[in-house]
Amino acid sequence: MTTTKTSHHNGSSRTLPAKGVDWLHNPIFNKGTAFTEAERDALGLRGLLPPHVQTMDEQVDRVMANFRAKTSDIERYIQLVGLQDRNETLFYRVVMDHLEEMMPIIYTPTVGKACQEFGHIFRRSRGMYVSLKDRGNIAKVLANWPTHDVKVIVVTDGERILGLGDLGASGMGIPVGKLSLYTACAGINPNQCLPITVDVGTNNEAFLKDPLYIGLHQKRIAGAEFDSFIEEFIVAVQQVFPGVLLQFEDFGNSNAFRLLEKYRDRLCTFNDDIQGTGSVALAGVLSALRLTGGKMSDHRVLFLGAGEAGMGIADNIVAVLLEEGLTKAEARQRIWFVDSKGLIVKGREGLVEHKLNYAHDHAPCADLLSAVKAIKPTMLIGVSGQPRTFTEEIVKTVGSYNKRPVIFALSNPTSKAECTAEEAYKWTDGRAIFASGSPFAPVTLNGQTHVPGQGNNAYIFPGVGLGVVSTGARRVTDAMFVAAAKALASLLREDELAEGRIYPSLKRIHEVSLKIAVAVAEEVYASKLNTLPRPADLPAHIQAQMYKPEYTAYAP
């Protein structure tokens, strides 16, 4: 039995454990108290488990009772990570059955706190750490992963974790969390997912002084040395996991744009902070148009923050404006940015390359309020990582120009949001169309309940990944993310829109991910980027591949 292969959940092949306790120590095969009487006899488990055989439903009830008894979200996070390490199938059953309750724990905002404390709450290694110590041997290191049947990798260097800055190797919570959502939201097989942290040092002084920090205790490398290390990593990934989808996550601005442009035509890759955020925000904008009326070309958009997220959103809005018949120059003229130095305008010294496309002829404005008064935006989008920067005066001023002002406070985690949902609604007498990056509770104002939208990338990247994997796409293009945004916006129902939502309920996430995967697959086929043949029934083919958290029978 030790060498027999099993097809476990949608075709991922793994070696079965030896008899006995090994079954209980392998999270892929462990069923805990749900092993049947026949399995306990056949697998050598008799006496190693309590005698009562439980159903998975009973196990879920026990997990949820413990989960809800915890007194803090970080304790809930630790509990769920422990469950994932013990019994992966049960973990995904719990998460999928209670996604709205689980999402804020396994991802934003709690994952941010978990990353900050990662070295102190560390229990068991998950994924792979590739550090500067591995230079010259990265391919050999990656080959230590127990299977080469990997379809999706999420990699970070930890330099810009959410809005929390440089967390170094402690940023591993982000790839782990992202890949959990690939499975929970779109059914990507968890055994085909690999989280990776590349440890190139950290400039976080508190971590460098902390003996419990899990990464290299040295400053970050940069420049040619960094590029050489990443190049070796990319080549090794292509060698060990050919055809894999590689997602760049939470790299610093100075590297994120450059790495995307350098590698997007060499392998199947994308940057979620740029393209995923751009796509989910575009979906929100398209939904908001149903409430404001008119076309995208009727609007002026002002961004606070000119990093990866802002540029990704702006480029997607430009794509829609081009479809409406504008030239690229006309489209960009409708989009403005404020960064830490004020309104981005032509002639300002020191502008980095990615900001130049949106530097327009205009007098300088030193701050956001003066920019709002000068530009008179119909849409105000915050991606700055700077909390409470959408002040009452700023929001009221935007509201004075618009019947239905669009206010997106997208910075993560919740503590970094530019304003709260309650503030946006209160300061506009309930007229605002609001979205945030992390969740906010519904707000009741003057007898009306408003349900704020959460522009969560989990609406987008899992479905995109499913479409890419299902077609064997050779590359990921911007057009795929525009297609994903349109698919997401099209799923918003009138009853959801009436509540103020601009995104479908997370309860519909599997429907959403399937629709996005089909839209992305259609774009793959249209671009002739597929390596797998097109099936006769595309939606049914993709749906059939989606992982379901069900126990496999290991004995007759």
- Phi then psi for residue 95, to 5 deg, are -65, -45
- In this structure, the number of other CB atoms found within 10 A of the CB of residue 408 comes to 30
pLDDT at 59: 98
**pLDDT greater than 90 at residue 5:** no
The pLDDT tens digits for 459-474 are 999 999 999 999 999 9
Looking at the DSSP bridge assignments, the partners of residue 153 are: 194, 246
Question: Rg of the chain over CA atoms, in angstroms?
Answer: 24
pLDDT at 258: 95
What secondary structure, in 3-state letters, does 278-334 show?
A: HHHHHHHHHHHHHHHCCCHHHCCEEEECCCHHHHHHHHHHHHHHHHCCCCHHHHHHC
User: Cα separation of 263 and 112, whole Å?
Assistant: 28
**pLDDT greater than 60 at residue 190:** yes
pLDDT band at 556 (very low <50, low <70, confident <90, very high): confident
**pLDDT greater than 60 at residue 276:** yes
Query: Can you name the CATH fold of 280-450?
Result: Rossmann fold (3.40.50)
pLDDT at 18: 84
**pLDDT greater than 70 at residue 375:** yes
432-444 mean pLDDT: 94
pLDDT band at 1 (very low <50, low <70, confident <90, very high): very low
Report whether 29 contacts 23 (CB < 8 A): yes
Question: Does CATH number 3.40.50.10380 belong to domain 108-267?
Answer: yes
Q: How far is CA 170 from CA 72, 129, 175, 459, in A?
A: 20, 11, 11, 25
User: Cα separation of 26 and 28, whole Å?
Assistant: 6
One-letter amino acid of 162: L
Tally of residues, the chain: 556
Query: Can you name the CATH fold of 5-101?
Result: Hemocyanin, N-terminal domain (1.20.1370)
pLDDT at 281: 97
Domain ranges of the chain: 5-101, 108-267, 280-450
Interhelix angle 99-106/88-97, nearest 10 degrees: 120
pLDDT at 12: 59
pLDDT band at 309 (very low <50, low <70, confident <90, very high): very high
The pLDDT tens digits for 487-502 are 999 999 999 999 889 9
Q: What is the value of pTM for the model shown?
A: 0.93
pLDDT at 7: 44
The pLDDT tens digits for 222-244 are 999 999 999 999 999 999 999 99
The pLDDT tens digits for 37-50 are 999 999 999 999 99
User: Cα separation of 4 and 14, whole Å?
Assistant: 8
* DSSP class of 198: E
440-461 mean pLDDT: 95
Mean predicted lDDT score pLDDT of the chain: 95
User: Cα separation of 364 and 409, whole Å?
Assistant: 24
User: Cα separation of 444 and 441, whole Å?
Assistant: 10
Positions marked active-site: 107, 178
pLDDT at 13: 63
Q: Do domains 108-267 and 280-450 have the same CATH topology?
A: yes
* DSSP class of 168: G
Q: Find tokens 């790299």 and name the residue.
A: 251
pLDDT at 14: 73
**pLDDT greater than 60 at residue 4:** no
User: Cα separation of 460 and 413, whole Å?
Assistant: 18
User: Cα separation of 186 and 545, whole Å?
Assistant: 10
The pLDDT tens digits for 60-103 are 999 999 999 999 999 999 999 999 999 999 999 999 999 999 99
Q: Is 445 helix (H, G, I), strand (E, B) or coil?
A: strand
The pLDDT tens digits for 330-372 are 999 999 999 999 999 999 988 988 899 999 999 999 999 999 9
The alpha-helical segments, DSSP class H, found in 404-460 are 421-427
Q: Kindly write down the DSSP assignment for every residue of 62-100, as one continuous string.
A: HHHHHHHH-SSHHHHHHHHHHHHHH-HHHHHHHHHHTHH
pLDDT at 2: 38
pLDDT band at 11 (very low <50, low <70, confident <90, very high): low
Percent of the chain at pLDDT exceeding 90: 93
pLDDT band at 254 (very low <50, low <70, confident <90, very high): confident
pLDDT band at 438 (very low <50, low <70, confident <90, very high): confident
